[in-house]
Amino acid sequence: MSNKITFIGAGNMASAIFGGLISSGYSPSLITATSPVQAELDSVRQRFGIHTSSDNLSAAADADIIVLAVKPQIMQQVCEPLAAVLQQRSERPLIISIAAGAQVATLDHWLGGRHAIVRTMPNTPALVGAGATGMFASAEVSPAQRAAAEQLLGAVGIVEWVSDETLINAVTAISGSGPAYFFLFLTAMTDAGVNLGLPRDTARRLALQTGLGAAQMALASEHSTEQLMRNVMSPKGTTERAIATFEDKQLRQIVQDAMDACAQRAEEMQSEFGC
Ligand SMILES: NC(=O)C1=CN([C@@H]2O[C@H](COP(=O)(O)OP(=O)(O)OC[C@H]3O[C@@H](n4cnc5c(N)ncnc54)[C@H](OP(=O)(O)O)[C@@H]3O)[C@@H](O)[C@H]2O)C=CC1
Ligand SMILES: O=C(O)[C@@H]1CCC=N1
């Protein structure tokens, strides 16, 4: 892929994607990121060697792909000025949104209409090539544009298409926000290990490697994660006691409640920010 890609917004998620893209071999000279904050532009230029600009309109003028990577609450004020630039172009760029709670029809309206838009929900492990992205394509997206979007996000992790746009909120609840759940769990495991007497560094390394190992093992296995859990639980052994504690305290219901709250928030954001 040798598309010129402009990221509108150069924050956490955008830099995770273009950082991962560059690590996968994509040329930094094909990437531009914009931000109103000069310090942020200096930082990403130094770290990644990409082009930077504080002018969204000129950065969007000749891009093949425009990635909308600003917060949902400012999406409207960022998109509306872009409409004039995009409407003038003979060849329309592919628009990729990564914003939570921003619907394709609303983005299209703000951008002046009739755009090919892929709405995605990536996650920050994209930075290390281990991202997970859910994607939905609007009717205007051509097969070639669909392939280009898949190639872009596929360079930084796995990609799963959903056929119904509302499912993007479910993707947000599982993988968009999901890294934070695992970071919480890893922090809690590390703290508990320290409380049991381990040095913090040792507890951290053991917790992280265990998380990595469990995920890698599950990906390589033909068994369900439920079965893999049972395989660790020797009868009357230590794991059985730990899992019984999680089950007594309703961990599964806690996870369901948290993910329901996450998806609900994504829906609320659609009306709160007019998205
Ligand atoms: N963080 C995550 O894990 C994930 C985030 N997302 C989505 O990604 C989007 C960005 O989130 P995130 O990266 O966390 O947020 P950040 O605040 O880190 O990034 C947004 C960036 O946009 C910049 N910005 C503000 N105004 C403009 C403007 N007018 N033109 C160009 N850039 C502008 C901000 O600058 P300033 O610092 O001055 O505000 C900031 O650098 C959101 O829509 C979010 O829903 C999706 C999946 C996961
Ligand atoms: O918390 C958020 O709103 C964003 C979207 C998914 C992850 N971070």
Residue that is written with structure tokens 């390394």 in the block: 205
User: Do 161 and 234 share a domain, yes or no?
Assistant: no
The set of residues, in sequence order, having a beta carbon less than 8 Å from that of 93 and lying 6+ positions away, is 60, 63, 64, 65, 66, 86
- Please write the tens of the pLDDT for every residue from 1-22: 789 999 999 999 999 999 999 9
Using the structure block, give the residue that is written with the tokens 């993988």.
175
Give the residue, by CA position, lying nearest to ligand 2 atom 7. Answer: 177
Domain that holds residue 221: 178-269
CATH of the domain at 77: 3.40.50.720
Nearest CA among 258, 89, 43, 57 for reference residue 172? 258
Model pLDDT for residues 142-183, shown as the tens digit of each residue: 999 999 999 999 999 999 999 999 999 999 999 999 999 999
pTM: 0.94
Q: What is the ipTM of this complex?
A: 0.96
100 lines ligand 2 (CB under 6 A): yes
Mean pLDDT of the chain: 95
pLDDT reported for residue 156:
92
**Residue 228 has what pLDDT?**
98
**Whats the size of the chain, residue-wise?**
275
Mutate to test the pocket of ligand 2, among 17, 177, 269 (most ligand atoms within 8 A of CB): 177
Last residue of a domain, one of 147, 171, 195: 171
Q: Is the CB of 177 under 6 A from ligand 2?
A: yes
> 9 with 70: CB under 8 angstroms?
yes
The CATH number assigned to the domain holding 206 equals 1.10.3730.10
Classify residue 222 by its DSSP letter. Answer: S
Side-chain-facing half-sphere of 87: CA atoms under 13 Å: 12
pLDDT of residue 28: 97
Do residues 144 and 18 both lie within one domain?
yes
Q: Evaluate: CB of 8 within 6 angstroms of ligand 2.
A: no
Backbone φ, ψ for residue 109 (5° rounding): -60, -50
Distance 252 CA to ligand 1 centre (A): 31
At 165 the pLDDT is 96
Q: Cα angle at 244 between 238 and 245, to 5 degrees?
A: 95
Å from CA of 107 to ligand 1 middle:
16
Do the bridges between strand 94-97 and strand 65-68 make them parallel or antiparallel, or are there none, so unpaired? parallel
In a domain, 23, yes or no: yes
Confidence of residue 270 (pLDDT cuts 50, 70, 90): confident
Q: Is 34 in the pocket of ligand 2 (CB under 6 A)?
A: no
pLDDT above 70 coverage of the chain, percent: 100
Give the pLDDT score at 2. 86
* DSSP symbols for 180-213: HHHHHHHHHHHHHHHHTT--HHHHHHHHHHHHHH
Q: Would you say the CB of residue 20 lies under 6 angstroms from ligand 2? A: no
Give the pLDDT confidence score for residue 1 in this predicted structure: 77
Which secondary-structure segment (H or E) carries 95? strand 94-97
Beta bridge partners of 66: 6, 95
Q: What phi and psi values does residue 120 have, to the nearest 5 degrees?
A: -125, 160
| Domain edge (last residue) among 171, 200, 222 | 171
Digit-coded pLDDT (tens) for 74-91: 999 999 999 999 988 888
Domain boundary among the residues 121, 153, 171 is at 171
Q: pLDDT tens digit string along 15-49? A: 999 999 999 999 999 999 999 999 999 999 999 99
Residue 274 above 90 pLDDT? no
pLDDT value at position 89? 87
Strand-pair partners of 160 = 134
Atom of ligand 1 nearest to the CA of 8: 31
Q: How many domains does the chain fold into?
A: 2
Determine the distance separating the centroid of ligand 1 and the alpha carbon of 12, expressed in angstroms. Answer: 7
Q: Domain check: are 203 and 160 in the same one?
A: no
- pLDDT per residue as tens digits for the range 88-110: 888 899 999 999 989 999 999 99
Which pLDDT does position 126 carry in this prediction? Answer: 93
Q: Is the predicted pLDDT of residue 220 greater than 90, yes or no?
A: yes
Binding site membership of 172 for ligand 2 (Cβ less than 6 Å): yes
